[in-house]
Amino acid sequence: MASTRAKIAVDAMGGDRGPGVIVAGAIRAAAELDIDVLLVGDSQILEAELANHDGANIQNIEIVPSEGVVSMDEGALTGVRRKPKASINVAMKLVKEKRAQGVVSAGHSGAAMAAASLSLGRIKGIDRPAIGAVFPTMYANKSVIVLDVGANVDCKPKYLEQFALMGTIYSKYVLEVEEPKVGLVNIGEEATKGNELAKETYKLLSKNSAIPFVGNAEGRDVLSGDFDVIVCDGFVGNVLLKFAEAVGEIMLQIVKEELPFGVRGKVGSAVLKPNLRRIKQRIDHAEHGGALLLGVPAVCIISHGSSQAPSIFNAIRVAKEAIDHQIVDRIQHYQKGGSLDLVSEVKES
């Protein structure tokens, strides 16, 4: 595991709620995670936001000026190309220049992907980067990474094979699953089920000895805890992601509505409060911070546009974990013919 202090660039101008919540999350991350944060955005706005916080908590924060932002109503590629000084472009440039090891953005997700591809390129041997999102499962302290959840609507079987490899590496080293189980989203368990993409991908995954493939995963299996890595095309994955977010929000709302009222209800709520907090931590997407853009030669985290300060903090935490566990190095090392397992090889490559 890497021991050097991580430096992470945060796109402070992206997101639906303005830079205030992003700055607050970044300050907490810099204070609690032993990292340095580069806040990228309008200098005057960010200085004013930092002034609202205790000076002792902003020692590890640096402002990097940028001009403008790629808005949600702009085409991703067009916006990135037309605005070279936009916050997401400047954040990616910091990584390209080795001034930061990772980027976190809650802005235009398409722009983040476009900026990463244009500035950083792809890891050699990876045809398409994938967005990997960590989902809770029915078991406490057990998660599943699902990829792709939106980067590639149309996929070829070899893309999904590469997604499975990257997901295996992330599951093994960051989620600390000793022997990850990889599943392929399909409409049935049998190898002959599904469309041509699913059937051809099944064959590739079955033949690849580096992928611990255990078979197809139906919709009901995704959050069952029986799989550690789930692969699918970006169209299906994005539907899964949005549906899971909605279910989590509905469950939290139902729990709140069903708590008893009155004096007895207040007593009961006080007793249940620790349990309710744990429920929220398990099913609230904000607790997982953001999704990883795997396949580019740097750590890139794409957060939800509606992220608030706790979610930004968690997104930066996810970035630090990926940096500390050398996820990019491991993927690059494997693509060069190295082992998935030997840390000494990773450090030497």
Which residues of the chain, if any, have pLDDT below 50? Answer: 1-3, 263, 342-349
pLDDT in tens, 21-66: 999 999 999 999 989 999 999 999 999 999 888 766 688 899 999 9
Q: What's the pLDDT score for residue 304?
A: 82
Q: What's the pLDDT score for residue 1?
A: 46
The answer to whether residue 337 sits within a structural domain is no
Q: What's the pLDDT score for residue 182?
A: 97
CB-neighbour burial class of residue 109 (10 A; exposed 0-12, middle 13-18, buried 19+) = buried
The answer to whether residue 160 sits within a structural domain is yes
CB-neighbour burial class of residue 246 (10 A; exposed 0-12, middle 13-18, buried 19+) = exposed
The verdict on 189 and 116 lying in the same domain is no
Distance CA 13, CA 270 (A): 38
Q: What's the pLDDT score for residue 340?
A: 64
Domain count, the chain: 2
The answer to whether residue 327 sits within a structural domain is no
Q: What's the pLDDT score for residue 348?
A: 44
Distance CA 94, CA 229 (A): 31
Give the position of tokens 């060069």.
336
Can you give the residue range of the structural domain that contains 34?
A: 7-126+295-313
Phi/psi at 62 (5° precision): -130, 135
Q: What's the pLDDT score for residue 279?
A: 54
The answer to whether residue 330 sits within a structural domain is no
Q: What's the pLDDT score for residue 243?
A: 87
